[in-house]
Structure 1
Amino acid sequence: MTLPLFIEQLLNGVQLGVTLFLMASGLTLVFGVMGLINLAHGSLYMIGAFTCATVTGSTGSFALGLGAGVIAAALAGALIEWSVMRRLYARDHLDQVLATFALILIISEGTRYLFGGAPLWLDVPDALSGAVALPGGAVYPLYRLAIIGVGLLVALGLFLLIARTRLGMQIRAGESDREMIAALGVNIASLYTIVFALGAGLAGLAGAMVGALQSVRVGMGEPVLILAFVVIVIGGIGSIRGALVGAVLVGVTDTLGRIFLPELFGLVLPPSEATTVGASLGSMLIYLVMAVILAIRPQGLFPANA
């Protein structure tokens, strides 16, 4: 293992972690404030990616596509909350799971009908298409560094929103005692719609940015959704700080594990066996980390109400 390779893969893990944070932050807010399990969150990620790819292809402007992806996902989230989700708040989690799973199927088939079954391709914008030389001789794509930067700025913005604004105060209060803030005159329905749209917009931002790194296709949000749930369990439900720390931990662990475990096992096993064992253990590693953390801290690393 060389230093440039390690730095490159470490940054890949951070970039994956930042993307997971954009997904998990909205998911943890929705669950923390509303108590709602939203399996359709990955579909909002997909909506952001498809909208960004379509608008960018039509206008030639990635910035317009990125903005359109965020807005489309936020509007879709607000519509879903108004039409479906607010009927589920008083229901048990099984009803929420079934209803949001149905939304996955509806949105996926609707997307397939509108855009066809073939994947779309989104090019990296010219301004971010180069590479940056890093210490140790590593060279890293500028666009991936931009994703890391955007994710960290969003994390800072969310922290300021939650900690320093009236809306953030209402969100924090909603996590602790929604009946009390309703009695104090806060419009709970509007607060829920805003929180859900905010989470949806963050998911759309993640999908729009990742669309330039992989194909934009139907069902692309579900694998990311599973990792996002792992993130919020590790970080602590309802905690933005926990979502950020958990996302980076998951991203780095998953990336480095998949790359370096086969090499590590190669020191003691034949190459074919080392690859098989290393790849298998690498895919399990984040779940092992989650199990260890929950054994020590059942509420996650940074529970919101701690």
Structure 2
Amino acid sequence: MSLTLLVEQILNGMQFGVTLFLTASGLTLVFGVMGLINLAHGSLFMVGAFAAAATAAATGSFLLALAASIAAAAAAGAIIEVGVIRRLYARDHLDQVLATFALILIFSEGTRWLFGSFPLYLSIPDALAGPVTLPGGIRYPLYRLMTIGVGLVIALGLYLLITRTRLGIRIRAGEADREIVAALGVDISRLYTVVFALGAALAGLAGALVGAIQSVQVGMGEPVLILAFVVIVIGGIGSIRGSLVGAILVGLTDTLGRFLLPGFFRLFMDNSAATSVGSALASMLIYVLMATILIWRPTGLYGARA
């Protein structure tokens, strides 16, 4: 195993982690502020990917595709918050799960009706195509590096939004005590719509960024949703910093596990068995990581202690 290959896999893990962060940060905002279990968050990831692919095919512009992914996901989020989610805040979590699961089915079948069952493809723009040479002579895809940079910049922007702006103060106050915030004259319904649309926009952007690496297809949001829940449990519900740290931990654990474990088992197994056992154990690593962290810190790395 060469050092170059190991560094490439670490960067792949970082890229996977920051795209998970974009999805998980919106989910943790909604969960932390509203106390809502939103299983349809992955569908908003899919909406962003399809909007980006369709816009890129129509205009040929990757920047317009990214803007369309954000706008489409935010609009879809605002519509379902006003039309459906707003009626669930006072309901039991089981009602929230059932209603948002129904939204998954609606989004999936609606997307299949609009775009068909065949996958779409979002091409990487020419300016970001090809590799770039990093220190040490390591060649790595420029688009993946751009994705890492975008994720980190958005993480900084979210931190500044939550800690330095009036909207951030209202979001944190609404998370702490929504009744007092409403009594002080803040329109809590409008605040919830803004938070939900913001979370949806982040998921849509993540979908567009991932859509240029893999195919855009119906159902692509469900696997990401599961990993996003793992991330917010590891990082702590309601914590943007926890989402970033948790997402990078999950990304690195999953990527390096799939890279290193088969090679480790080849030391004392034949190639076919080592690949099978290593891949199976690698798929379990993130859940082992989650269980280990919860044993050490039941509220997650940055979650508020009861």
TM range (shorter): over 0.9
In structure 1, the partner of 2:112 is 112
Figure out how many residues of one structure are paired with residues of the other and give that number. 306
CA contact (8 A) 2:235 2:300 kept: yes
How far apart are residue 304 of structure 1 and its match? Answer: 4.7
Aligned to 1:154: 154
How far 1:106 moved relative to its partner? Answer: 0.3
Equivalent-residue separation in structure 2 for 1:170 and 1:304 (angstroms)? 18
Q: Secondary structure at the match of 2:132?
A: strand
What is the CA deviation profile of residues 122-174 of structure 1, one whole-angstrom value per residue up to 9, with x for unaligned ones? 11011100211123432110000000000001000000000000110011111
* One-letter code aligned to 1:112: R
Q: Which residue of 2 aligns with 1:190?
A: 190
Pairing of 1:129-278 with structure 2 (within 5 A): 129-278=129-278
Aligned to 2:76: 76
Structure 2 Cα separation of the partners of residues 215 and 192 of structure 1: 32
Q: Partner of 2:275: helix, strand, or coil?
A: helix
In 1, Cα distance between equivalents of 2:209 and 2:274? 34
Helix, strand or coil at the partner of 2:156: helix
The aligned counterpart of 2:50 is: 50
Give the Å deviation of 1:272. 2.0
**1:56 counterpart letter in structure 2:** A
Post-superposition offset of 1:220: 0.4
What is the CA–CA distance in structure 2 between the aligned matches of 1:19 and 1:139, rounded to whole Å? 21
**Deviation, structure 1 residue 275:** 1.2
* Mapped contact 1:176–1:305 kept (Cα < 8 A): no
Distance 1:263 1:136 in 2: 24
Q: Secondary structure at the match of 2:56?
A: helix
- Match of 2:140, SS state, is strand
- Give how far 1:4 is off: 0.7
How far, CA to CA, are the matches of 1:265 and 1:191 in structure 2?
Answer: 52
CA distance in 2, matches of 1:51, 1:305: 40
* Deviation of 1:305 (Å): 6.6
Give the secondary-structure state (helix, strand or coil) at the position aligned to 2:172: helix
Most deviating of 218-227 and 134-143: 134-143
Distance (Å, rounded) in 2 between the aligned partners of 1:273 and 1:292? 27
Tell me the secondary structure at the aligned position of residue 132 of structure 1.
Answer: strand
Q: Aligned AA for 1:164?
A: R
Distance 1:17 1:88 in 2: 31
Report the secondary structure of 2:208's partner residue.
helix
How far does residue 267 in structure 1 lie from its aligned partner after superposition? 1.2
Q: State the match for 1:32 in structure 2.
A: 32
| Shift of residue 248, structure 1, vs aligned partner | 0.2
2: CA distance, partners of 1:145 / 1:97: 36
Q: 1:305 to 1:26 in 2, by over 3 A?
A: farther
Distance in 2 (CA, whole Å) between partners of 1:65 and 1:131 is 22
Q: What secondary structure does 1:133 align onto?
A: strand
What's the C-alpha RMSD, in Å, of the aligned pairs? 1.0
Quote the residue 1:101 is aligned against: 101
Q: What is the letter of the counterpart of residue 196 of structure 1? A: F
Identity percentage over the alignment?
Answer: 72
- Aligned counterparts of 1:8 and 1:28: Cα–Cα separation in 2: 29
- In 1, Cα distance between the equivalents of 2:237 and 2:31? 7
> Which residue in the other structure is 1:303 paired with?
303
1:60 aligns with 2:70: no
Which consecutive residues of structure 2, in runs of 5 or more, have no partner in the other structure?
A: none
> Secondary structure of 1:139's match?
strand
- The correspondence of residues 280-295 of structure 1 with structure 2, limited to 5 A, is 280-295=280-295
In structure 1, what is the Cα distance between the partners aligned to 2:304 and 2:118? 42
SS at match of 1:112: helix
Amino acid paired to 1:208: A
- Tell me, yes or no, if the aligned pair for 1:3 and 1:136 is still in contact at 8 Å: no
Asked whether the 8 Å contact 2:108–2:219 carries over to 1, the reply is yes
TM, length-normalised to structure 1: 0.98
